[in-house]
Every structure is written in structure tokens, then in C-alpha cells.
Amino acid sequence: MAITYFITGANRGIGFEFAKQVSADSNNIVFATTRSLANATALQDLHRSNLHIIELDIGSSLEVFKESLAEPLAKFAPNGVDIIIQNAGIAKNSAKRVIDSSPEEYEEHYRVNVVGPLKVYQSLLPYWSKQANPETPKKFIFINSVVGWVNNFYPFRSSHYGASKAALNHLTRHICFDNKSSDSDCIKNSIVIAVHPGLVLTDLAKKVFEDSGIDPDSSGLPSIYPDESVRNLLEIIDNLTHEDNNTFISNDGTRTSW
């Protein structure tokens, strides 16, 4: 039986690398979302018949989410979805103290980084819980960041981004809590985790460096490229067991406090 993946924010950066690496196995069925098909040339250029591109803006209403998913999922994933990688996210206007961060910046980061993933979860749950797959437990992977830790506070000036990722961690843990009492055995046995992808040289990270006045080449910070980050993350994801449910895992495999 094929493994069906659903990846958000897959037209560039880490999300694109996920779509590229998992669709390289032609047995997998892969859904990759993009805000705009016009910006999805890298995905289209892969020319893979098992890769289905869906136009979806994380800011759209839940009704639009459900409508956008209905047709492609009914057509290409009759057995539902197995592994969801909630990756789409923003980190704008870094290097600011709390006093200098605007309410609008907070609202935008919450809208994209928290309410967006909530809608991904709510619209996909019927497909995720549809049918057990003997090839894999059901998995829901939230791409988070060390800046979302509360207990292990990470000293980086971006409170609007950090607060939104901390809220996303809370959402992740609530989903784990709800899953324990699910009517569906495959959801009761599912694995829901948050991961930190590392400091990955994408457009997002380059802009954070720029905002912070840091030169990535001379900073001494351990940055990696998206292909390496995703290779590491896929190894972690492939080897997850139910013991890993409700944990935060870093790119090097370390389980840390949230």
C-alpha cells in the first residue's frame, strides 16, 4: 500500500525539499501545497506523476481549505492521508525588542503560524483518520523552531515569531491530548510531534540574518542547506514510534523540553 504525504508551503525552502525527496519514491502519493500555482515552477519542473500540487493560502477560510482539498484528495488519495507535514510559515521583521514589535506583526504571525496550522489540521482530519495503513502509523509533523521553546528559552530577538511558534507547540500538544480519546484506533495510535529543522539556509533564514545584521558565512552559526535538513528529518520521521508521540525533536534527533 502506498504512503500518502501532505506537505504545506512546498513551493520553496524546506517544504519544497520535503516534496522533492518523498516524491522521488514513485510508490508514495504526495500532495504539495503552494499559495500560488504561478510560484510553483520548481514543483512543476519535477515532472512527477505521483506529485499533486494544490493551491492553498494558509490565510484562507476553513471552508476554502475544505473545498480546495475535496477534489484532489477524493481523486488521488481514496484511502486518505498518512503523513502530514505542516511546514508553511513566516518569520518577518526579526531583531526587534518586544517594545518595538507591533500588534499587527503579532497578528500576522499568529494568523499564518498558528491559525493556519489549525485549519490544516481541521480540514485534513477526515482524510488522516480515514483508514489505517499497514505501511505506517499515522503521523502529523509540525515544523516548529527552537525559538518557540518556553522552558528552554532561546535568546533570539523575535518575540512575535517566537510567541507564534510557542502557541503552535501548544496546539500540537492539544491535538495529542484529543487523539488519546479519538474514536479511531489509527488516530489513537498516531504520532504527533514538533520538529526543529536546524538553521536552514532558505529565504526565511537569509532574511532573518539580514534583519539581524549577521553575515551567515562569518557568523560561526551551524547553518545547513534544505536538502541536508530534510534528509535528517525524514530519517527521524521514518523511524518514529508511538513513544515519540507528543515530543519536540531537533534536527539532530535530540528530544528536548518544549
Ligand X SMILES: NC(=O)c1ccc[n+]([C@@H]2O[C@H](COP(=O)([O-])OP(=O)(O)OC[C@H]3O[C@@H](n4cnc5c(N)ncnc54)[C@H](OP(=O)(O)O)[C@@H]3O)[C@@H](O)[C@H]2O)c1
CB of 89 to ligand X, least distance (A): 2
96 is catalytic: no
CB of 258 to ligand X, least distance (A): 15
Nearer residue to ligand X within complex by CB, 86 or 133: 86
Question: Which residues would be at the binding site for ligand X (CB under 6 A)?
Answer: 9, 11-15, 35-36, 39, 57-59, 87-91, 112, 143, 145, 196-197, 199-200, 202-205
| DSSP strands (E only) in the chain | 4-7, 29-34, 51-55, 83-86, 139-143, 191-196, 199-200, 223-224, 247-250, 255-256
CA–CA gap between residue 149 and residue 167 (Å, rounded)? 10
Nearer residue to ligand X within complex by CB, 13 or 80: 13
Nearer residue to ligand X within complex by CB, 91 or 191: 91
The one catalytic residue in 20, 138, 139, 165 is: 165
CA–CA gap between residue 241 and residue 199 (Å, rounded)? 25
The one catalytic residue in 127, 130, 161, 206 is: 161
The secondary structure of 97-121, three-state, reads CHHHCCHHHHHHHHHHHHHHHHHHH
165 is catalytic: yes
CB of 126 to ligand X, least distance (A): 21
The set of catalytic residues is 161, 165
